[in-house]
Structure 1
Amino acid sequence: MFHVEHSRPMTAVHRPRATSLAALARRRLLRNRPALAALVTLIVVALACLAGPFLTGHAPGRIYPDLVRMKPGLAAHPQPDAVRPAIDRLAFRMRLAVEDFAVKDGTVRLTLTSPKPINERSLSYLPRSDLFGPPKILERSGDGRRLVVETRIQRFYFLLGTDVVGRDLFTRCLVAGRISLLIGLTATLVALIVGVSYGAVSGLIGGAVDALMMRLVDILYALPFVFFVIVLLVFFRAGLWLVLVAIAAVEWLDMARIVRTQTLSLKGRDFVRAAQALGLTTPAILVRHIVPNTIGPIVVAATLLVPRVILLESFLSFLGLGVQEPATSWGVLIAEGSRALESAPWMLGAPAGFLVVSLVALNVLGDGLADALDPRLSEPG
């Protein structure tokens, strides 16, 4: 009698799966708490700049002439001690005298007198001041020289105060952030496209072409940036697009050198030689092999380029060579705040705070991406 041994099913051999560079970089970035905090900060700042101006309750260009240089705080304006002076100023404009004045539950009750019959249209000064609502006439004397009026006190909140003409500074900082971030991202994108293409072509072709292209870069490096902007201002009007063109025309130089150095180290690799032996054209080698293998340094350089562009735009706007009214940016607001530093220091502190937080977050995120995309760092077990 034979003993039949049942065969056991063969179990598959588990082999460790290779981890792609993107997955490895993502894992490293998620473990880097400062970089994650910087990324969250940037997302919050970007969302605040995009949606915040619609939620503050103040239009960016709205002027409150009776609320000039209000200090930052959570208190409602006008404050109780400012209601009577505001009424006196408005009565002076209306050429009326305030005989009686009382405030109760956010409502002002006034008794106005005049040597002549009072024209009711002059009461439009009350709602026009933005401090009070439409007036309601409660009593009127027979000769028309005495009116009892009731009006509602408007309530406004200025978290970061107001500027020298009475505009809400918080709203203006958020709107200015749109322009500064737009300039930073757009100029960086242009620098990436031009710099990566220029550096990759120069490094891959090599020889006399490479030498000629790099000498052109050296010549552009030698031109003073501010002088270049002033020359552009001779032919074009200062504004947002001029800033974008000026910054993008200069900031691609560093990117071109970085990509050229990476290309020189890659062109001798076996996969590039194999592609050349197979007859691939130079554009195909650049797109399929050179540029994808330089993504790491490019991403890191781009992340660090954005804060430099924003700072450069702020410098130009501070000198009056950048963004012009009615548009605004953090640099424009900082320039305005520096002129009112003694009387209203919050005008400088508010936009400078937004700028510093954004620049620090971008630099910390750039350092985190540099560590995450560095292939020489070993993955902790």
Structure 2
Amino acid sequence: MASNVRKAQPQHLAPPIPPAPPLPPVPDDVALPGDKLCPVCASLELTPRRFIVWPDEPQYGQPGEYLDEAGFVPLALVTNMKKNIHCPLCRLLLATVMGNRAVPDVDGQGRPLYIGIRWGTDGRESDPDDFSNNLSDIRVIFVGLVLESGRDTNLGYLFASISLLVNDAPPNTPCSALRFLPRPVRGDVIDFDLVRWWVAVCEARHTPCDPSQIMHEMGWDPPQTVVPAFRCIDLERDCLTLLRNVPVPANFRYAALSYVWGRAGSEDAFFKTLQANVAEREVPGFFAREENQRRLPATIRDAMTVARRIGIRYLWVDSLCIVQDGTGAEWLEAIRKMDIVYGAAYIVICASGTFSAFDGIDGLSPSRPRAKPRAVEQIAEGFRLACRDSLAGVADDIPGPYPYGFRGWT
């Protein structure tokens, strides 16, 4: 049973952030033959310098807002922008507001829709424990689907925005601004150098993400002390390892996989851990055997690869780490404590773009490329703008069509 005694507030000692990995080159096909800004987009007179908040500006380092008081300004009808196939900014705005989805010409009442824009800022957190109050380091253009009056229809992505590609930052751009400008991302495979750097930045800068902080706030004890028969996959020894009430290193950390099981032709296909096979799965080398590699559902096998590439030794997966045919109070308690298992994880690998445990994770090899990369358009020579991830755009097709988005918990 978990202790009722609240522990002292953990002290977050920020580790140093390693240097950022080199910027990937911008694809050669960003500039298309015949590209030219349409008259409406040209009238905005955009330049790279406009996307940086410079130290000599009154707004520099001041609290910013996601949305300025003026609201959206209708730029052009969606129908007209769709016709401007040679205008790079029209293409980028349409790609940003709805991602992969088709941008509607009218709303549900048949009223014509416009692409609306408004300026905003982004930057450093004024309070490391409050992500909602950022300082002004860069400028962004927020994009929305609006009516002729400028009223937002809320049909587009929340906080959809574009900004300057970091590769084109002007000389002497403050280092604080460089952190927040969008950067090119490989479209074929996952860039694990970049992922490891993101994790390092999060560990150093994002105190609320620290599992010990989460555990303290929730009044939780570590899973290895409160979850019955708590097991993880030891990716160095390639087997399950029982961690319940055993000494673990001070820097013990594990990844957890969040995914959907889906359907299979038989229950055996899920390769579940059962009372009859748990002992053999705790033998070193079990998961490394060729026959067992073949039987592992692809999403779980790929999650093992992801954890290894990030540098995490232990991985928790429900179908393998909980004895699935267990009975009694101990088994039920393990199910009830899954919130602690996910909350205490160093990272959670979310296989959200899948229909089942057999789909795998895109981007681990060129034969299974990632989803389309970030939209980038060249506005002029040496001046490119890019879509920034909106709240909906992070998981572009969730909740549909994937079942992950319809679950009661993730």
| Superposition TM-score tier, normalisation by shorter sequence | under 0.3
Structure with bigger helix share is: 1
- Provide the TM-score with structure 1 as the length reference: 0.26
Structure with greater Cα Rg: 1
- Provide the TM-score with structure 2 as the length reference: 0.25
